[in-house]
């Protein structure tokens, strides 16, 4: 009750904030063209020399609780060295409040967006500073080009680089209870056929192979969208995937339908613990728990690397659980990897803010976090040795070897779809409320048209 009231209220505010977006009274602060990198090095170097000591940089984003502690730990060394105080304000309802704050002229210096789609809204309104105006070439060289492609967004005066990538999560892996898995003599599947054969084998042995749960409060359905995206990457070209995330390839197209059908074939009563009916009622964080019972009740769980924080206390990475790469379906599309991550965007242009933005392009900015676990670094200079456990190191190595990397499609789509009808559509379909064609048509109909 209270939650839904809150949700409605937030929608109302967001709608209000957006509707008031029209012509902006304050023009975008034009980046000062002071030929930055020549005088005494880049902003980062100048900050390290102590030039900006005593300044404060404010940030807002979704890091709360444990993430906030780890973030603070990972920027502490930079703060000590430069004298810049980075004040991070984490909020559970960050997505709702940021619209209000920007609209009211109260934007923090740097905002941390887990969903680039939302950032796109601010870029289009001209609120965001183009980071390519001041970042040195070394920062650009420190990422795969695909990250910069994903950071490039359409501003009012043409495309800008809207931010820099901070940490990321990898999603294309399947977790399994290693001890029992080995004891039972199961083999890690290398191909999709192997995966289905393994599932059938587990069924024949009297268990259900997959742990699946997509319940997540108001966001129920999102784990299903990850599945569809992973299957899309394995069954169609990257061009089609990109077109799909921008709305040019409709959900009712054969490609998306094919992906849905493949998913549908796995999420059957015989394959899913608790049966298909349990999928939409099981909390995504609780879904892997039966995997750790002795003996396990289900054996395979596909989820991003953050899911390890939901695993029961005391289970050991590499001993009690491990992961394998979700196998390719069609070999011609290689070994794609689905990722999601945090992009840091800059709303106020000051030298010390530029220095902090440049700092985020260094792997150093994540070093302490990698050691403690819970993040992967997209920066090339982040060494694999920095990871605190073998599982995350293994995931990071796999992503580095992937033939292609694509961002979580639902996070790229406009909020109405990516955080709306795509979720609810999946929920409706797997709870049996609507059939596939209806669901896909409804998602298509919900795309905002200009």
Binding to other proteins in span 86-105, by CB under 8 A: 87, 89-93, 96-97, 100-101, 103-105
Q: CA–CA separation, 157 vs 155, rounded Å? A: 5
Task: Provide the 8-state DSSP code for 112.
Answer: E
Q: Which helix (H) or strand (E) holds 244?
A: helix 238-246
Query: Three-state SS string across 259-295, please?
Result: HHHHHHHHCCCCCECCCHHHCCCCECCCCCHHHHCCC
Q: Which stretch binds other proteins (CB under 8 A): 157-165, 250-258, 278-286, 391-399?
A: 278-286
- Does residue 51 belong to the site contacting other proteins (CB under 8 A)? no
Nearer to other proteins, 11 or 30 (CB): 11
- Does residue 367 belong to the site contacting other proteins (CB under 8 A)? yes
Tokens in use for 221? Answer: 């359905």
Closest CA to 417 of 210, 179, 225, 149: 225
Q: Which stretch binds other proteins (CB under 8 A): 136-144, 227-235, 285-293, 427-435?
A: 285-293
- Does residue 17 belong to the site contacting other proteins (CB under 8 A)? yes
Give the contact letters, 187-216, x = binds to other proteins (CB under 8 A), - = no.
---------------x-xxxx--------x
Query: Three-state SS string across 6-62, please?
Result: HHHHHHHHHHHHHHCCCCCCCCCCCCCCCCHHHCCCCHHHHHHCCCCCCCEEEEEEC
Helix 422-430 with 436-445: angle, nearest 10 deg: 170
Q: Which of 4, 6, 319, 380 binds other proteins (CB under 8 A)?
A: 6
3-state secondary structure of 170: strand
**Radius of gyration for the chain, computed over Cα atoms and rounded to the nearest angstrom:** 22
Q: Which of 39, 65, 80, 157 binds other proteins (CB under 8 A)?
A: 65
Q: How many residues bind other proteins (CB under 8 A)?
A: 59
Taking the complex as a whole, the smallest distance from the CB of residue 60 to other proteins amounts, in Å, to 8
Q: Which of 16, 24, 190, 218 binds other proteins (CB under 8 A)?
A: 16
Q: Which helix (H) or strand (E) holds 196?
A: helix 192-204
Taking the complex as a whole, the smallest distance from the CB of residue 416 to other proteins amounts, in Å, to 20
Q: Which of 31, 48, 64, 250 binds other proteins (CB under 8 A)?
A: 64
Residues that bind other proteins (CB under 8 A): 6, 9-10, 12-13, 16-17, 20, 62-67, 69-70, 73, 87, 89-93, 96-97, 100-101, 103-106, 180, 183-185, 202, 204-207, 216-217, 283, 285-286, 289, 295, 306, 309-310, 312-313, 367-368, 371-373, 386, 388
């Amino acid at each position: 009750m209270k939650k839904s009231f809150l949700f409605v209220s937030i929608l109302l505010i967001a709608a209000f904030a957006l509707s008031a977006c029209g012509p902006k009274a304050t023009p975008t602060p034009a980046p000062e063209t002071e030929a930055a990198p020549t005088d005494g090095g880049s902003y980062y170097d100048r900050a390290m020399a102590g030039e900006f000591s005593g300044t404060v940089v404010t940030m807002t984003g979704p890091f709360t609780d444990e993430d906030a502690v780890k973030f603070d730990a990972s920027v502490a060394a930079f703060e000590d060295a430069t004298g810049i105080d980075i004040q991070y304000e984490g909020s559970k309802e960050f997505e709702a409040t940021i619209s209000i704050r920007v609209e009211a002229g109260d934007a923090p210096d740097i905002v941390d967006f887990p969903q680039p789609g939302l950032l796109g809204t601010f870029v289009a309104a001209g609120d965001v500073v183009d980071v390519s105006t001041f970042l040195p070439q070394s920062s650009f060289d420190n990422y795969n080009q695909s990250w910069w492609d994903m950071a490039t967004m359409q501003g009012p005066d043409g495309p800008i680089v809207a931010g820099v990538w901070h940490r990321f999560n990898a999603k294309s892996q399947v977790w399994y209870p290693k001890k029992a898995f080995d004891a039972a003599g199961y083999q890690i599947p290398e191909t999709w056929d192997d995966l289905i054969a393994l599932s059938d084998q587990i069924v024949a042995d009297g268990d259900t192979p997959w742990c699946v749960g997509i319940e997540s409060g108001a966001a129920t359905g999102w784990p299903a969208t990850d599945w569809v995206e992973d299957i899309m990457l394995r069954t169609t070209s990257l061009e089609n995937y990109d077109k799909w995330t921008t709305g040019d390839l409709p959900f009712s197209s054969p490609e998306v339908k094919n992906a849905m059908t493949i998913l549908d074939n796995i999420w059957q009563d015989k394959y899913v613990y608790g049966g298909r009916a349990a999928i939409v009622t099981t909390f995504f964080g609780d879904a892997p728990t039966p995997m750790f019972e002795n003996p396990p009740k289900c054996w395979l769980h596909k989820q991003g690397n953050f899911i390890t924080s939901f695993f029961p206390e005391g289970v050991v990475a590499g001993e009690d659980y491990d992961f394998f790469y979700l196998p390719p379906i069609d070999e011609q599309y290689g070994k794609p990897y689905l990722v999601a991550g945090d992009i840091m965007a800059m709303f106020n242009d000051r030298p010390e803010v530029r220095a902090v933005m440049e700092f985020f392009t260094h792997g150093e900015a994540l070093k302490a976090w990698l050691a403690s676990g819970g993040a992967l670094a997209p920066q090339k200079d982040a060494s694999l040795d920095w990871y605190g456990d073998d599982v995350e190191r293994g995931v990071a190595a796999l992503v580095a070897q992937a033939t292609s990397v694509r961002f979580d499609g639902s996070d790229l789509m406009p909020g109405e779809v990516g955080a709306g009808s795509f979720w609810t559509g999946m929920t409706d379909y797997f709870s049996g409320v609507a059939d596939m064609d209806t669901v896909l048509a409804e998602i298509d109909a919900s795309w905002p048209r200009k």
